[in-house]
Chain A
Amino acid sequence: MNIAFIFFFSSRLLKSKYRNSFFGIFLTILFPILASIFLSYIFSGIYKQDFDTFFLKISLGFIPWYFFTRTLIDISNSLNNNIYFIKKKINNVYNISLSYLLSGIFDFLLNFSVLIMINIFFLDNVFYINFFLFIFTSLLFFVFTYSLGLVFSFFCAMYKDFINLVVFFMQILFFLSPIIYEIKNIFLNLQIFIKLNPLTTYIEMYRACFNLSENFYFSDYLLIAIITLIIMSISLSLFKVIKKRIIFYL
């Protein structure tokens, strides 16, 4: 791991997002919050729930989904978009994908900070944050996103239009994750499919950090930790096997 490389590369990614475009700042900081407000207005009426609590619940689903989608797509594209550095040194794959992850984490934490500020200053929610659980959930979630992104980046290098499939599934994932609904409100048969989605557990874990989840159990945490570690081992092993050959695809 090259710390200076990661530092400058992730700074460069953040700079390109924030410095040169007002719209970039708007999209990154406010989009998840504004989208949550918009969805809360519509669905709190439909579900007949209190807006303030419903907004917090939706935000705690939307922000992780937004981070996951954007970072996963960025990491998936990282091999194809940075041929320069990877051809020169294939181990830069780790440094570049980590830089994309760090840039995503920065946005993610910024989104959470804005959410907490809104709750403190504008909403009537009485909430507490379990920081210990938040840190553990986040660490696991970042490893999960990174490992999956690394595997997808190889496929994107080998199959040029694989990224379209990733983008498509990210859209589908929005509806397969309990962001705008709660698991208990859907049909029992469908609940199994929703629970199979790893993002469901992460969203429930984030809600549990704010004491808002009724569906989170310690066994879920253990299971997702095992799944994450398996995906990480697969992606690192895959990298070792194909790293010498991948250069011919770029």
Chain B
Amino acid sequence: MKPVIHFQDFSFNYYLPDQNNTSLKFLLSNPFKIHKINKLNVFKKINLKLFKNEKVAFIGKNGSGKSTLIKIIDGVYKIYNGSLKLNGNIYAIYDLGLILNDNFDAKDNIRIFLSSHGYRISQIKDLEKKIINYCEFDENIKKLPISKYSSGMKNRLILSCFIFLKMKKPYSLLFDEALVYSDQHFQKKISKEIDKKIKDSKLFVMVSHNRDLLKKYCSSAVLFKSNNQLVKDKLQKILKIYDQ
């Protein structure tokens, strides 16, 4: 069977520009010298296959590379060695700071979000009211830049956007700590829609430290070990290894 996501001999380095070289002084004193960039190895020759209809949890310590792998799949980082093959569309919820603009209010964020997903101007104007109402924000809150919002409110906004987003099939859905900030009321409200999105997806990947959520949504798991290695197995088995 052809995997939906396939990493083969995949290596990825995080490039850290030398902070001493990012000033004008460096440019003027070394006009023809190229920046010194430090490499931080995150993955070295990893192999991973994720198949159709799998519900996979990414498990590992903080800094083990779970969120980075989600961003690589979503196309944020494009420089790597080895091969990465993706089948179908990718929809991902992660690092809210990368999806929302803190200086914009809720409406502007919705507009930019939907336009980034290929919606037309007229479609966006129809949808924005529905999304705002779904979020259940007060009139005063709607007009504030979202830098004034709590993490829970930002999460509510982005989840509402995703619920109204018409995902092009076949698609893979990636959640990185996407549900942990929402309150009980909102989680209950969205659970039906989220379940439907997950059911319709070809592949579902979840990153979370919340075991209840992992057990609810996932059946298999990938363990991110500290030596850059990945181990894939059933969820219960991986959780046992992780606890040891």
Residues of chain B within 8 A of A247, CB atoms compared: 76-77
A12-B104, A245-B15 known; A162 vs B27 contact (CB < 8 Å): yes
Q: Give per-residue flags for A1-27: 1 if the beta carbon is below 8 A from chain B beta carbons, else 0.
A: 011110111001000000000000000
Interface size on A, residues (CB 8 A): 29
Residue among A4, A158, A248 making CB contact with B14, cutoff 8 Å: A248
Cβ–Cβ contact B112 & A5, under 8 A:
yes
Cβ–Cβ contact B116 & A85, under 8 A:
yes
Cβ–Cβ contact A88 & B76, under 8 A:
yes
Q: Which of B80-126 contact A (CB under 8 A)?
A: 97-102, 104, 108, 111-112, 114-116, 118-121, 124
Bound-complex Cα distance A227 to B144 (A)? 45
Range, interface on chain B: 20 to 34
How many A-B pairs fall under 8 Å by CB?
77
Bound-complex Cα distance A7 to B123 (A)? 13
Q: Which of A136-186 contact B (CB under 8 A)?
A: 155, 158-162, 164-165
Nearest CB in chain A: distance from B105 CB, A: 9
Cβ–Cβ contact B116 & A87, under 8 A:
no
- A contact patch SS: helix
Nearest CB in chain B: distance from A182 CB, A: 34
Bound-complex Cα distance A85 to B79 (A)? 18
Residues of chain A within 8 A of B129, CB atoms compared: none
Residues of chain B within 8 A of A155, CB atoms compared: 27
What is the chain A residue whose CB lies nearest that of B92?
A: A88
Does A187 sit within 8 A of B, measured CB to CB?
no
Cβ–Cβ contact A4 & B124, under 8 A:
yes
Does B185 sit within 8 A of A, measured CB to CB?
no
Cβ–Cβ contact B37 & A8, under 8 A:
no
What is the chain A residue whose CB lies nearest that of B26?
A: A159
A8-B112, A8-B124, A248-B16 known; A88 vs B26 contact (CB < 8 Å): no
Does B140 sit within 8 A of A, measured CB to CB?
no
Does B35 sit within 8 A of A, measured CB to CB?
yes
Cβ–Cβ contact B100 & A84, under 8 A:
yes
Nearest CB in chain B: distance from A147 CB, A: 20
Cβ–Cβ contact B115 & A5, under 8 A:
yes
Does B236 sit within 8 A of A, measured CB to CB?
no
Residues of chain A within 8 A of B26, CB atoms compared: 159
Cβ–Cβ contact A165 & B24, under 8 A:
yes
A4-B124, A12-B104, A248-B14 known; A159 vs B115 contact (CB < 8 Å): no
Residues of chain A within 8 A of B15, CB atoms compared: 245, 248
**9 chain-A/chain-B pairs, Cβ below 8 angstroms:** A5-B115, A5-B116, A84-B97, A87-B98, A88-B76, A88-B99, A92-B116, A161-B23, A164-B24
Q: List residues of chain A with CB under 8 Å of any chain B CB.
A: 2-5, 7-9, 12, 82, 84-85, 87-90, 92, 155, 158-162, 164-165, 244-245, 247-249
